[in-house]
A and B are shown apart, each in its own frame.
Chain A
């Protein structure tokens, strides 16, 4: 799978993120709001840990089992978040993905803009018939992104994820290729 993907939207560019951006990603995550909303997300990563993660992401992308895209804000050229396809199931032609964005860039429609472009790209590249995503109960902003991008809510998996000593519901969403209206 080529890792030189470059997708352009009105305000954003989606492209591979580099080892040199590890510090920037740490800065974006430093306030802990992503870790608070995404189960299993490591807290307080050092730039070295982040580099190791980026390296792993690149390896997976090169094997064609994932697709990690950095979200760059055109007007500053800076990374503001990530959209990542991490669960590719070729035999059933579906894929699952996740995403995050730095706190100060939220509620501006950037995430929806990025998710739409990424989803469209992944449908084409991986020949999916369906894509899925889920979020932890309470993360309504994340659900809004999916609904804005044309996803439908498909179910609530009760107490599906352990998060900070509690077991919380996970809300699942899906979109079919024919529902892609963009």
Chain B
């Protein structure tokens, strides 16, 4: 069982099957699909269900950890943050995240990603965490910059996004840099059993 990660205003916890409806609701609202490269279009309730059901085996095998971002005040899911896929042999993982459009521009993504980075570099002892973003997603890039990530490359026309081949920008941070730059002062609190 993966314990929840407690941040300042947020609690990150694993998903349950009952969360599919809420995930579907958040992902089908408005503009979010413009920015997420890998999202099925249209996004169906079944997509949310199968996405959630895949998470448990990934967690058990240590090849991916996905958390619901919940509001500490009312326990409502506002988005997701993940280290998936994770490669235990090479000790690297991809950081992924999204928030429902109502929750943008309030620092939630920064808070959630900082917490999961700390989890990845300390609890999971990863050496490298990388992230991809579409070129037009400046908000996401700002978050990656705040995390101390640096750009490593541009994968040209790497993905089909809404019928068009799009570049994908790759950024990363290494465990060593994360520790050196005192990003490690941001510690997640996990409710240990």
Contacts and interface: CB of A to CB of B under 8 A. Distances in A.
User: Do A and B bind?
Assistant: yes
Interface of A: 40, 91-94, 129-130, 132, 152, 154-162, 167, 172, 174, 176
20 contacts: A92-B165, A93-B160, A94-B159, A132-B155, A152-B156, A154-B155, A155-B155, A156-B153, A157-B128, A157-B172, A158-B172, A159-B128, A159-B174, A160-B90, A160-B128, A161-B90, A162-B89, A162-B90, A167-B127, A174-B158
Which applies to chain A's interface (DSSP): helix, strand, loop or mixed?
A: strand
B40 to A, nearest CB: 9
Contacts of A155: 152-155, 170
Contacts of A174: 155-156, 158
A154 B128 contact: no
Nearest to B170: A155
Contact of A154 (B89, B154, B172): B154
Chain B contact residues (Cβ within 8 angstroms of A): what range?
20 to 34
Contacts of A167: 90-91, 127-128
Given A129-B165, A167-B90, A172-B153, A158 B128 contact: yes
Nearest to B37: A92
Given A93-B165, A129-B165, A159-B174, A154 B156 contact: yes
B92 interface: yes
B65 interface: no
A38 to B, nearest CB: 14
A176 B157 contact: yes
B165 A157 contact: no
Interface in B148-191: 152-160, 165, 170, 172, 174
B130 interface: yes
A176 B155 CA distance: 11
Given A157-B153, A159-B92, 17 more contacts: A92-B160, A93-B165, A94-B157, A129-B165, A130-B158, A130-B165, A132-B158, A155-B154, A156-B152, A157-B128, A157-B152, A158-B152, A160-B90, A167-B90, A167-B127, A172-B153, A176-B156
Interface in B77-97: 89-92
